[in-house]
Structure formats: C-alpha cells, structure tokens
C-alpha cells in the first residue's frame, strides 16, 4: 500500500493519545500512526488518504444519552441509528453531543477523536459492522492522523459492547 503521508510514527501522534497508548501497553502502535498533509476529518477523507474502503474507517462518535456522554464506534460507510442506540442503552433521549461536550469528554476535537484514550471514561458501543474487516483505521487524536488496528482488538481496547446500531438500508 502506498500513501501520501508526510510523517509516520510517534511524531504523528497527538501527545495525549500517545500517552494513552503507552498506558494501555500499546506504545508500539504509535509507530503505525500515519499523518497526512490534508485533513482526514471525515470518513470519506480518511478512506481516500489511506486508500482503503470507506467501511474500513472506524468513526468515533459522541452522543448524549439522557445528557450522559456515550461513545459509538461505527464503520465509515454507515450512519448511527439514534433510536437503536436509545433502545440499546434504555435511555429516554439520545442526541449527537455538541462540539464542546465532545472536547470536554474526550480531550479531542471532532474529526480527531480516537476510539480510546479519552479524558473521561464513557460507555462505549461498537457496531458489529466493524468486524467485517481484518483491519480498520481510526483517528489518532487529530484530524490529520489515523492508525490501523484489528477490529476485535480495537473493540476490546475501547471496552466496547458489540451492538447493532447502524441505520438499516432498504
């Protein structure tokens, strides 16, 4: 695979995320981080930069379930069905979290939120669609950096519960 990244490794990793990797015993993963000169803020931008399928991108999305932040990990080709999230959590109301809540909860800006290594621990749901691939790519703390990981390892590291919360098509 060839990429147009200008930097790889630890220097491409957000300092907070690099620290989280070390704390989790995953310091070697920092060497797998790829930084791109153009933003990989959206799943489409990330897939184009990496040269992978859109569904191989792992989106880290923060929602508010009855006002409590919850992280949903979703493949890049799918959308989260908030009603299914609400049912899964037994919540009264689920909405997308505002940008300030995302930053306050995770320590990262929207477009760069990794699937783990957040400032605050939250409940994590991971859609089963992520398991369709051998490797998925997720944000590494900035809108310009991503890292690869086996989906089962990513789900385990994030402490996620596997669920079916993507929008149904057709």
pLDDT in tens, 90-138: 999 999 999 999 999 999 999 999 999 999 999 999 999 999 999 999 9
User: Which pLDDT score is estimated for 153?
Assistant: 97
Q: Can you give the pTM of this predicted structure?
A: 0.91
* Dihedral of alpha carbons 117, 48, 127, 104, sign: positive
Q: Indicate the average pLDDT of the chain.
A: 91
Q: Where are the alpha helices (DSSP H) in 59-126?
A: 82-89, 99-106
């Amino acid at each position: 695979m060839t990429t147009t990244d200008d930097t790889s490794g630890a220097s491409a990793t957000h300092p907070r995320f690099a620290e989280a990797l070390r704390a989790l015993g995953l310091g070697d993963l920092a060497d797998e981080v790829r930084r791109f000169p153009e933003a990989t803020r959206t799943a489409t931008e990330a897939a184009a930069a990496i040269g992978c399928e859109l569904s191989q991108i792992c989106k880290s999305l923060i929602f508010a379930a009855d006002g409590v932040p919850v992280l949903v990990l979703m493949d890049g080709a799918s959308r989260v069905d908030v009603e299914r999230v609400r049912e899964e959590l037994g919540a009264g109301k689920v909405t997308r979290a505002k940008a300030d809540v995302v930053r306050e909860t995770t320590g990262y800006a929207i477009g760069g939120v990794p699937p783990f290594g957040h400032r605050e621990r939250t409940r994590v749901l991971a859609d089963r669609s992520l398991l369709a691939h051998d490797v998925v790519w997720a944000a590494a703390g900035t809108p310009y950096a991503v890292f690869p990981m086996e989906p089962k390892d990513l789900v385990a590291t994030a402490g996620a519960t596997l669920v079916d919360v993507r929008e149904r098509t057709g």
